[in-house]
Amino acid sequence: MTVKNEKSDDGKRDVGDAGKEATAANNSINDELWGSDMYPERRGAKSNYGWFKWLIGAAGRESIDKAKCEDNVYRCIKDSPIVKLMVGALKSSGCEIDIRRHISCEVCAPSVTGGYDSQLNQNCVKRKAKMSIMAVHNVSEEIAEAAIERVFTKCYNDLEPVGRRIRRNSDDMPRAYAEAHLYGYDS
């Protein structure tokens, strides 16, 4: 998908004079960390919490959450049939996965969220994609929507490498993994 990014002026959000000055001052940082502003730790920023959040345990859990995330990633890569299928598909395409290098567990900005709505799945997917594009590429809502509409049907209907839509509580994941050799994927 191609969208205009922050290096062009088209589609940028309107910011005041203070925002323009801050943007100009941070251009060198943005060139190095483009798209990583959703992860404050990459900039060396530390979260400042009030004493009450520390007291109730709502703050200072970053290292615990990171360890849980890393454990979950390891378990998924080791045990999940669909993840193993995806890793095998990437490997057979010449893209070897190194989990230490290609997967990162980091604290992200509160604006980055997940979610799924089974009734309005396409709308949910489009909305999440739009919010992600707007946050990471710093483009206007109209440009993000246009980019999504241009590619959505093709991407949404692309069943590769699984070959089917995975249904919840079914044997689709193990079956897709068992059929990986039919698609030429390594396992």
Domain boundaries, the chain: 38-116, 117-186
The per-residue pLDDT for 40 is 56
pTM: 0.47
CA distances from 116 to 14, 22, 81, 90, 171 (A): 30, 35, 21, 25, 21
User: What is the chain's mean pLDDT, rounded?
Assistant: 73
User: pLDDT for 125-166, tens place per residue?
Assistant: 888 889 889 988 889 999 999 999 999 888 878 777 677 777
Q: Enumerate the H helices of the chain as residue ranges.
A: 17-25, 27-32, 51-56, 62-79, 81-92, 99-102, 121-137, 141-156, 172-178
pLDDT score of 70 more than 60 = yes
Residue 100 pLDDT > 80, yes or no? Answer: yes
Residues ≥6 apart with Cβ < 8 Å to 88: 180, 185, 186, 187
Q: Where does the pLDDT of residue 37 fall: very low under 50, low under 70, confident under 90, or very high at 90 and above?
A: low
Residue 86 pLDDT exceeds 80 = yes
pLDDT of 31 reads 46
